[in-house]
Structure 1
Amino acid sequence: MTSGETENQTNVQEFILLGFPGTWHFRMALAELFSVIYILTIVGNVSIIALVGIYPRLHTPMYFFLCNLSFLEIWYTTTCVPKAIGVMLGTSQTISFTACKMQLTFSLAMGSTECFLLAAMAYDRYLAICHPLRYSTLMNSTITAQLVLVSWLCGFLAISVLAALISRLSFCGPNVINHFLCDIDSWIALSCTDTDLVELVVFMLSIIVVLVTCAITLVSYIFIISTVLRIPSAQGRQKAFSTCSAHLFVVTIWYGCLIFLFVKPSAQNSMDLNKTINVFSTVAIPLLNPFIYTLRNKDVKEALAKALNRM
């Protein structure tokens, strides 16, 4: 990096997040909604981790994956939502250059990790439903731990390449971000240096991380659905379809958001539309996941009932 680029980079010490447009009452109502959803998200995901830790019956590969997903969702939503609430309240609209870069990097890394985890969970369900007799051999505790470890490593290593590149971008002003969080499109739009390489890396990583894991997840569910269709009992088919459709609904929303936001050759989407899509990925999905994946499950309902009775 040249001395001129270093000097330019120090011109912007902080960014201003605009959040959502509208009246004061609208922003207050939105802040209250975000706060309620955030609290429910934390309580729901912490409850899942606690239940799985307490009850030995839930010490299975599926719930180990769910614990990791819940742990990830807690940090993923915490990276974005509390700051967004401060922006909407007007009490914390500025964010330092370093904090903005960290928020961007960690949100991308955890979003990437979630893609790998969802693919691993879909593969786990495929083995459990399509190969039930061999499931305990194909998905033992060692393999489960390895899949989780690989998911976390791949998620963070993939984004480390992008993090190194965005750290070299220079910002000469303006410093206003039309968003409630620091996102990659805003950094590309505000940078006063060439961003072609960054845009290319974002596009390539999106293809590798988002589309590949999405394909693995969808193919797994296709095999699951084809197996479910062969269940002789109508009640059994209905129960299996009910569970699979709920999982598939959340997965579709998640990947739909990511494909819209990232799988494009350049930062072409409007920031207002990006904000709306980001609400689903950073606020709604972390709330839906614990309820969709667990509260429809008989074992979790029984464990939750026992925990409530003890209390």
Structure 2
Amino acid sequence: MSLQNASINVTHFIIGGFDTLSRPIAVGVAILITYLLAVLANIANIMFIISDKRLHKPMYLLICNLAVVDIVYTSSCSPTMIGVLLAGVNTISYVECLIQMCVGALGTAMESFVLAFMALDRFIAIIYPFQYHSYLTNTRVLVLTFILWFVAWCFVCYMPATVVPLTHCSSRLKYSFCDFAAVIRTTCVNPEKYFNEVAIVTFFIFFFTLVFICLSYCAILLFVKLSSNNEKKKMGSTLVSHLICVTVNYCPAFVRIVFTRFGVVLTLEERQGLLIGAVLGPCLVNPFVYSLRTKEIKQKFYKIFKKFHTSD
């Protein structure tokens, strides 16, 4: 029987990525707690920045944009995984699955774009401190942010345009939520061609944004060498937060997507672990890094905490 004859009309997908888990409740609770912490922390950062006019500056607008990206990214798949593990709802409609796939891919691209933009911000702030406010105004940051969202959507449009015309031979997803790899494996075609195409696009985004970040760091470090000790400490402090976020974002992504294209064999469980970590890790780490290491946000948090403590 040919693949075409074996095709089926898919209206819902069955999520089978957690079928082999021995303790689904424990994993579900862990994902639920991580998701709630990530969303609440990112919302808190957004509210701190919006409510304080003194924080209406380019750097804080970028932190706010990163928080929005984190909320969108983690919300693309976490509710689905929590529903499967804690409520036993292991089906998702075809349209919802495609939306989840697109929003997840959008979050992946935007994480890299925003981190690259933040590297540019730090580069200008450290190398050209006196021209910083003339180079990066709030209006320019907002315009560039809009352009990045538009470019990310252009990359993402490839996925539904590829999947929708294809016929499906299975309605069971091997992974824990709808991403491109999981959906394309349910179709009646050889997935390798499509995996390679997505790997090229992903590598393009990750490689060029990471190279841009690394070049920015090299220029900053070269400049720091010529600076005084006090300036070195200040510059180092501003870079540590960004470096932590870059590391958390790129490490699992490169292992899962790029290295596997060069022959590194990963089990299904390892792939899923990296996939979930690539989504939840940055979204949880980013807001805490910037709220704890950014002086103005930290002071705002202490003032609110002190106010509540005094009222009690």
Give a deviation string over 1:70-90, Cα, whole Å, max 9, x none: 011111111111111122225
Q: Name segments (4+ residues, structure 1) moved above 4 Å.
A: 4-7, 264-269
Contact 2:73 / 2:279 at 8 angstroms: preserved in 1?
Answer: yes
- Determine whether 1:53 maps to 2:32: no
- Determine whether 1:258 maps to 2:253: yes
- Determine whether 1:98 maps to 2:98: no
Aligned to 2:274: 277
- Determine whether 1:22 maps to 2:17: no
Gaps of 5+ in 1: none
Aligned to 1:143: 140
Aligned to 2:175: 179
Amino acid at match of 1:182: C
- SS of 1:8's equivalent in the other structure is coil
Match of 1:295 among 292, 295, 302: 292
The alpha-carbon deviation at position 239 of structure 1 amounts to: 4.6
Q: Structure 1 residues 103 and 9, CA, compared in 2 at 3 Å: closer, same or farther?
A: farther
Q: d(CA) in 1 for partners of 2:303 and 2:165? A: 53
Q: d(CA) in 1 for partners of 2:90 and 2:147? A: 36
Give a deviation string over 1:221-261, Cα, whole Å, max 9, x none: 2222333333312x543453244234213212311222233
The alpha-carbon deviation at position 7 of structure 1 amounts to: 9.2
Amino acid at match of 1:58: L
Give a deviation string over 1:35-93, Cα, whole Å, max 9, x none: 11111111110011111011112111010011111011111111111111122225211
Farther-moved stretch of structure 1 (88-97 vs 153-162): 88-97
Over the aligned positions, Cα root-mean-square deviation in angstroms equals 2.4
Q: d(CA) in 2 for partners of 1:13 and 1:83? A: 14
Q: d(CA) in 2 for partners of 1:249 and 1:20? A: 34
Q: d(CA) in 2 for partners of 1:259 and 1:245? A: 21
Percent of aligned positions with the same letter in both sequences? Answer: 25
- Count residues with an aligned counterpart: 304
Farther-moved stretch of structure 1 (66-75 vs 81-90): 81-90
Give a deviation string over 1:274-294, Cα, whole Å, max 9, x none: 111112211121010011123
Contact 1:257 / 1:277 at 8 angstroms: preserved in 2?
Answer: yes
- Give the alignment of 1:193-204 within 5 angstroms: 193-195=189-191, 197-204=193-200
- SS of 2:169's equivalent in the other structure is coil
Q: d(CA) in 1 for partners of 2:262 and 2:227? A: 46
Give a deviation string over 1:116-162, Cα, whole Å, max 9, x none: 11111110111001111111111112221122111111111111122
Match of 2:220 among 224, 244, 267: 224
Q: Structure 1 residues 240 and 190, CA, compared in 2 at 3 Å: closer, same or farther?
A: same
Q: TM-score, normalised by structure 1?
A: 0.89
Match of 1:118 among 98, 115, 119: 115
Contact 1:18 / 1:179 at 8 angstroms: preserved in 2?
Answer: yes
The alpha-carbon deviation at position 9 of structure 1 amounts to: 5.1
Aligned to 1:240: 235
Aligned to 2:12: 13
Farther-moved stretch of structure 1 (214-223 vs 76-85): 214-223
The alpha-carbon deviation at position 11 of structure 1 amounts to: 4.5
Match of 1:129 among 126, 129, 134: 126
Q: d(CA) in 2 for partners of 1:278 and 1:211? A: 18
Contact 2:49 / 2:60 at 8 angstroms: preserved in 1?
Answer: yes
Aligned to 1:66: 63
Aligned to 2:201: 205
Q: Structure 1 residues 128 and 17, CA, compared in 2 at 3 Å: closer, same or farther?
A: same
Match of 1:43 among 40, 44, 48: 40
Q: TM-score, normalised by structure 2?
A: 0.88
The alpha-carbon deviation at position 6 of structure 1 amounts to: 11
Gaps of 5+ in 2: none
Amino acid at match of 1:14: F
Contact 1:113 / 1:154 at 8 angstroms: preserved in 2?
Answer: no
Q: d(CA) in 1 for partners of 2:97 and 2:183? A: 10
Amino acid at match of 2:147: V
Q: Structure 1 residues 136 and 242, CA, compared in 2 at 3 Å: closer, same or farther?
A: closer
Q: d(CA) in 1 for partners of 2:95 and 2:266? A: 25
Aligned to 2:161: 164
